[in-house]
Amino acid sequence: MASILESESRLRRIVDSQGQQHVFRFWDQLGTPQREQLLSELDSLDFEEVSRLIQQHIKGNESGHGVSHPEPSPYIRLPQTEEERHRHQEAWEQGVEAVRQGRVAAFLVAGGQGTRLGYDGPKGCFPIGPLSNKTLFQLFAEKILATCRRYGAVVPWYIMTSRDNDEISRRFFEEHDYFGLPRENVLFFRQGMMPAVDQDGLLLMDSPHSLALTPDGHGGAIRALKRSGALDDMARRGVAYISHFQVDNVLVQPIDPVFIGFHVQTGSQMSSRMVKKRSPDERVGNFCLVDGRLHVIEYSDMRPELAERRRPDGSLYFEAGNVAIHIYDVDFVSQLNQRGYELPFHRAWKKVPFVNDLSHRIRPRQPNANKFEMFVFDALPAARRTMILEGARESIFSPVKNARGEDSVETAQHDMTAEVVRWLRAAAVKTPVDSNGEPTVKLEVSPLFALDETGFVEQARQRSLTAVTADTYFE
């Protein structure tokens, strides 16, 4: 009891000095376990950091991002010449070698809240397979399993969750027997949380005895990899390269040998994939060079006159869009942590449930809170060397962000099907299509049937496949 009293008075002093004393306003109504929870949450906050962020983003005027003179960043383009095809082939071989040697880990960032999708549960549990209904988690698990089988490799898979979806994500894997992966090679860890604050910089409460905390962004991975012990685990396993991907991208290959090969070959510490932007205002970040360092400038921070600038041939001057697929060295993440390198926090104005003064829990319909998030691409400027590799959008990027419309379940399933149609065409298998080239039957390929076009063509040949005439799930 004495220790509760002690921490209460210590923490009261701290919150008083920060003008956040309202967090104790329900104290008299709380039982002991609830008081302990509130004290422990307050204790885990870095008040100095929080107060700096409030000062910088809410009370002060947000200064610019220091990116006033960006230039387009160079990148390795899709192969167009014989020589480029040869270089890609070499990179593939080098990548496969690194995978076979166990030097590559898959890393899924799955700690986000997925509010735009509005699905009740971790986004990874969302059923996405157009015919199979398989979930995003299963899709990625099978891609990793198929990679391991194809190259005779062990690929450990690290999954970053957050406080709110950790338990249910782990249970989901447990209930599905890790989708056939050896369970010792599927490793979960949690990212950090940040307090949400209102328009005046006051901490919001989620209940009378807890703060409204939100995950600290996918950039929280850089800290969490270290703090959770995942980085040490990787080092013990001999992993040197971390292949980072997001839970919503249905087309991503968690392990892409060509990308890995170029990363290794160029001696890059952090590499990213890009696709050509569809339009100046497409909602993806822009790869830019600023003072010789690679940065991603978010679409919302890019001045319109820069975003719209074109080359004489009509193409966009800033054409390289970020699709959130990266590779970084284990050593690089270690160094960042040793150096105490801080990724900057970005502020987002979002809807966050809270309790009001009458201790009623409110689910706001309009944004009411500032969230603070780090973005993993902000580590790029700290890398000694970087590399960007172009990808064909239709082969690497189709995110499920919204329930309907742009970047939705519908567009993702459409893009998954379109990929199968391309593979069928490559295998010279007749497919019924309408006048727009859209298939008139439903199609899906399990990653365990084929991981990519080459694999599919091979399977089709072995099975003497010549035509599809009805809904077909290749499994």
Please identify, using beta-carbon distances, which residue of 318 and 372 lies nearer to ligand UTP.
Answer: 372
218 near ligand UTP, rule: CB under 6 A: yes
Does the footprint of ligand UTP cover residue 215 (CB under 6 A)?
yes
Q: Across-strand partners of 136?
A: none
When asked if residue 325 is in the footprint of ligand UTP (CB under 6 A), the reply is no
- Min dist CB 372 to ligand UTP, Å, is 10
Q: Is 192 in the site for ligand UTP (CB under 6 A)?
A: no
Q: Determine the residue with CB nearest ligand UTP.
A: 112
- Residue 412 found at the interface with ligand UTP (CB under 6 A): no
- Give the residue carrying structure tokens 């439903």: 442
Structure tokens at 221: 């991975």
Quickly tell me which residue has 């890609």 as its tokens: 88
Q: Give least dist CB 290 to ligand UTP, A.
A: 23
CA angle, 335 as apex, 236 and 103 as ends, to 5°?
A: 35
Size of the site for ligand UTP (CB under 6 A): 20
Least Å distance, CB 351 to ligand UTP, is: 9
From 70, 95, 114, 391, residue interacting with ligand UTP (rule: CB under 6 A)? 114
Q: Does 195 bind ligand UTP (CB under 6 A)?
A: no
Binding flag, residue 115, ligand UTP (CB under 6 A): yes
The first and second tokens of residue 31, run together, are: 């039982």
- Taking the complex as a whole, the smallest distance from the CB of residue 371 to ligand UTP amounts, in Å, to 9
Q: Residues 21-60: x/- map of binding to ligand UTP (CB under 6 A)?
A: ----------------------------------------
Instruction: For residue 258, state whether it binds ligand UTP (rule: CB under 6 A).
Output: no
Q: Should residue 247 be labelled a site residue for ligand UTP when binding is judged by CB under 6 A?
A: yes
Which one, 94 or 162, has the nearer CB to ligand UTP? 162
One-letter amino acid for residue 6 of the chain: E
Q: Tokens standing for 46?
A: 């870095």
Judged by CB under 6 A, which of 7, 34, 37, 113 binds ligand UTP? 113
What are 469's two structure tokens? Answer: 């005439």
Piece of 30-38, 55-63, 106-114, 285-293 that binds ligand UTP (CB under 6 A): 106-114
* Choices 109-117, 128-136, 293-301, 359-367; region in contact with ligand UTP by CB under 6 A: 109-117
246 binding ligand UTP? (CB under 6 A): yes
Tell me which of 39, 50, 99, 109 binds ligand UTP, using CB under 6 A: 109
For residue 64, the minimal CB distance to ligand UTP (Å) is 23
Q: Per CB under 6 A, does 191 bind ligand UTP?
A: yes
Q: What would the two tokens of residue 222 be?
A: 């850089």
Residues 120-139 that bind ligand UTP (CB under 6 A): none
Which of the stretches 42-50, 98-106, 241-249, 272-280 binds ligand UTP when contact is defined by CB under 6 A?
241-249
d(CA 457, CA 441): 20
Q: Which of 116, 170, 226, 442 binds ligand UTP (CB under 6 A)?
A: 116
Q: Does 91 interact with ligand UTP (rule: CB under 6 A)?
A: no
Is 217 a binder of ligand UTP (CB under 6 A)?
Answer: yes
Candidate list 53, 54, 159, 160; residue touching ligand UTP; CB under 6 A: 160
Task: Name the residues that contact ligand UTP, by CB under 6 A.
Answer: 109-116, 160, 191, 215-218, 220, 246-248, 373, 401
